[in-house]
Chain A
């Protein structure tokens, strides 16, 4: 007799989809066709072969054999199906090996704590049946339990004997099935050392829903309702299609596939002639231009020609405030004000009066967001005005013309010849070297230096 206690557990939701599959497999009409299977001289009813399982999964879910075998194997490993031949080995063999469905009583989702008492009774039964010849780890566990719950050992032995007596009165086929079921259950709940432990779930997630009433928090109410922007995602994916190495390849070749790092060498931040794809990408959206350090550099060159470089410098300085150390905010804000916003500032930026007023107000209590409005204003100024003009400029057009467009190299004729995989300098090393050189940091230069990749 097994004692059981129901407890709330997050395991439950993990098992449920698996159980749906198991239930579908046992459907009288659409499930697997169960048959008698022969196990040596005994006929076991209501069984199926490994092949049956794989084929059913392939058909039901329209998947290939490899995936079906994988899924089926997981069902066995999790104790929902057990093998009749070699019952200690919980794997799915895609052949005529016989298998049976585990009784729901023993499903891992039932979450009865597999108690020490139950395990002791099981091992005792086995010990008696095998006349003391238990397997190593089971023998060890048996001895440990004997010590730990010695005070109830009489009860254990009595239960074990009673269950053995009852089972002797069953037909051989039933006895075999019940023994296999129980064994499969314990293989899952007390796995042999070194074996896969399916019970492992990682650190417990304290699901607060059980201890607290959760009222649904509704989001962005009716005011914000918009029709789905139909083609946004389609357009984006199409635009970036040829830039996506996984969709379109990677000129001249993907370093991970061919071990040739030319692709990276051609796209460093210090390269003198950028690639065509890269220059093209700057025209997709303003943020693409700004987030590429080389793009930003080239854009700065253009702005300098237009005598509006202070806008980009201001934007960079604001970024530096927003993402920099907390302690340096007041100092940086002061400097930015002096350089860009104060009347007669050397790099004065044209911010509208309302924004300026708000910013000046905020300067009294400088925080990291004090420049946000002004920064946004200048950002959109550049985006709407300088950026489109840059794309039409000779400077940009020349870049495009001169840009490198490496040919996609053909697959190596000798695929077995492995190239030497060159190492590259650790970015921490590069940064350290730069600092040691004592390079002065311009105010407004990007705080973050993207690590250079050199071949």
Chain B
């Protein structure tokens, strides 16, 4: 009922011309620094009337959009040259995980990576030489999130333990990495994704408990929490903007939300996918982001036009996209899918440029390297592959 109240007053606030979005915080016990919409309810309000009000507003929004005669991205890109033959091959295969690889992240040095798997193992590799440099075993299974610190001196990871822990990378071969482990984030359900912000000192997390959160690494203090998803949050990505204050998240409620890190407010929301959003990634300029979903499509959302501008799909692709990332120029979008393949899309023209076979089970994670020379894919077939 709290949700209903808050959403109703939010709708009323918007109607009266107030710009922006008030989030309905599900848990009233969290101190929320952001403004809260007033909790008023009219005597005639019922679930039905509020639902209808919501539908009407939605329809009106679509009407306004139609008036602007917006076009799809591929129509604008009609005249530009199509991409030629595209050849990418596996250049390295990293074997060493004893179970499904769930997540990976690149180090800023452009060649090292960290990966995590179902059996709790987190491994740091020099992907170029394929040497394993560090390994730690987490006390939990399904380590679904891992991230490399910007300095290259630590990694963060978590999963079914509901936490995000930071491990400083020790070069002493005898030292047990687990000894220096620091517990940073605490959620009430599984950790689905984590990312350092611009430094080693802050971590952004998303969780199956439906929230995202920003943490101070040194003290483990919660700096900001982000409420608004109606179900598990599965992914997040930080915006490469000049002001560096926003990030996008995707969840099981089929929504992609853009958040202001300062206030905790959801400033934009997109709901066009037909199923869980497994992955979100910003376009290099920060003006848009792509998403990959269980509905077997990837989509592009333009932040300034405030709408979806492209859908990347093909009738022969019948399995969900688990992970997406852009090439350096943003012209290509790589999608790892649950049918073990990687599809390469022309972001502008909307067509598929290539399909890459190789993995023998779901592709669960995919990231382009920091200098765009290669991308890495991790799979339930226990391996990681570097493609170039």
Q: Do A and B come from one complex?
A: yes
Q: Enumerate chain A interface residues (CB-CB to B < 8 A).
A: 10, 13-14, 17-18, 20-21, 57, 60-61, 63, 66-68, 70-71, 74, 196, 202-203, 205-209, 212-234, 236-237, 239-241, 243-247, 250, 254-257, 261, 263-264, 267, 286-287, 319, 322-327, 368-369, 372, 376, 379, 421-424, 426-432, 447-453
| 14 interchain pairs, CB-CB under 8 A | A20-B318, A61-B314, A61-B316, A68-B316, A205-B234, A214-B3, A214-B230, A215-B7, A226-B306, A233-B347, A245-B372, A325-B201, A431-B152, A451-B109
Q: Which 10 A-B pairs have the closest CB atoms?
A: A427-B152, A240-B329, A244-B329, A61-B316, A323-B199, A256-B388, A17-B318, A219-B269, A451-B152, A228-B305
Which residues of chain A are within 8 angstroms of B189 by Cβ–Cβ distance? 206
A220 & B268 in contact (Cβ 8 Å cutoff)? yes
B305 & A245 in contact (Cβ 8 Å cutoff)? no
Known: A205-B252, A208-B210, A220-B268. A424 touches B330 (CB 8 A): no
Beyond A60-B315, A203-B160, A431-B153, 9 additional contacts (C-beta under 8 Å) are A13-B276, A14-B319, A20-B318, A207-B252, A219-B306, A221-B19, A240-B328, A323-B198, A453-B111
A256 & B374 in contact (Cβ 8 Å cutoff)? yes
B332 & A234 in contact (Cβ 8 Å cutoff)? no
Known: A13-B275, A257-B388, A376-B243. A448 touches B200 (CB 8 A): yes
Measured between alpha carbons, how far is A424 from B108 in the docked complex, in Å? 13
Known: A71-B318, A245-B372. A326 touches B65 (CB 8 A): no
Output the nearest chain A residue to B92 by Cβ-Cβ distance. Answer: A256
Which residues of chain B are within 8 angstroms of A327 by Cβ–Cβ distance? 218-219
B80 beta carbon closer than 8 Å to chain A: yes
Q: Determine chain B's interface SS by DSSP, over half rule.
A: loop
A207 & B76 in contact (Cβ 8 Å cutoff)? no
Measured between alpha carbons, how far is A404 from B223 in the docked complex, in Å? 45
A209 & B331 in contact (Cβ 8 Å cutoff)? no
Which residues of chain B are within 8 angstroms of A216 by Cβ–Cβ distance? 54-55, 58, 271
B127 CB, min distance to chain A CBs, angstroms: 9
A323 & B201 in contact (Cβ 8 Å cutoff)? yes
A212 & B230 in contact (Cβ 8 Å cutoff)? yes
Which residues of chain B are within 8 angstroms of A379 by Cβ–Cβ distance? 242
A428 & B153 in contact (Cβ 8 Å cutoff)? yes
Which residues of chain B are within 8 angstroms of A372 by Cβ–Cβ distance? 262
A220 & B152 in contact (Cβ 8 Å cutoff)? no
A116 CB, min distance to chain B CBs, angstroms: 26
Known: A233-B348, A376-B243. A323 touches B329 (CB 8 A): no
Output the nearest chain B residue to A71 by Cβ-Cβ distance. Answer: B316
Known: A74-B339, A244-B328, A256-B388. A451 touches B151 (CB 8 A): yes
Residue in B10, B199, B341 whose beta carbon sits within 8 Å of that of A324 in the complex: B199
Interface positions, chain B 49-105, Cβ under 8 Å from A, are: 50-51, 54-55, 57-58, 60-61, 64-65, 68-71, 73, 76-77, 80, 83, 88, 91-92
B295 beta carbon closer than 8 Å to chain A: yes
B316 & A213 in contact (Cβ 8 Å cutoff)? no
B287 beta carbon closer than 8 Å to chain A: yes
Residue in B199, B200, B341 whose beta carbon sits within 8 Å of that of A70 in the complex: B341
Residue in B10, B57, B144, B327 whose beta carbon sits within 8 Å of that of A203 in the complex: B144
Q: Contact flags (1/0) for B218-229 with A, using CB distance below 8 Å?
A: 110101000010
B176 beta carbon closer than 8 Å to chain A: no
B178 beta carbon closer than 8 Å to chain A: no
Output the nearest chain A residue to B339 by Cβ-Cβ distance. Answer: A74
Measured between alpha carbons, how far is A246 from B346 in the docked complex, in Å? 12
Interface positions, chain B 244-292, Cβ under 8 Å from A, are: 244, 252-253, 255, 262, 266-271, 274-276, 283-285, 287-288
A326 & B216 in contact (Cβ 8 Å cutoff)? yes
B305 & A218 in contact (Cβ 8 Å cutoff)? no
B34 beta carbon closer than 8 Å to chain A: no
B108 & A236 in contact (Cβ 8 Å cutoff)? no
Known: A240-B284, A324-B201. A423 touches B328 (CB 8 A): no
B231 beta carbon closer than 8 Å to chain A: yes
Which residues of chain B are within 8 angstroms of A376 by Cβ–Cβ distance? 243
Residue in A205, A230, A239, A244 whose beta carbon sits within 8 Å of that of B76 in the complex: A230
Known: A217-B269, A246-B328, A369-B262. A205 touches B208 (CB 8 A): yes
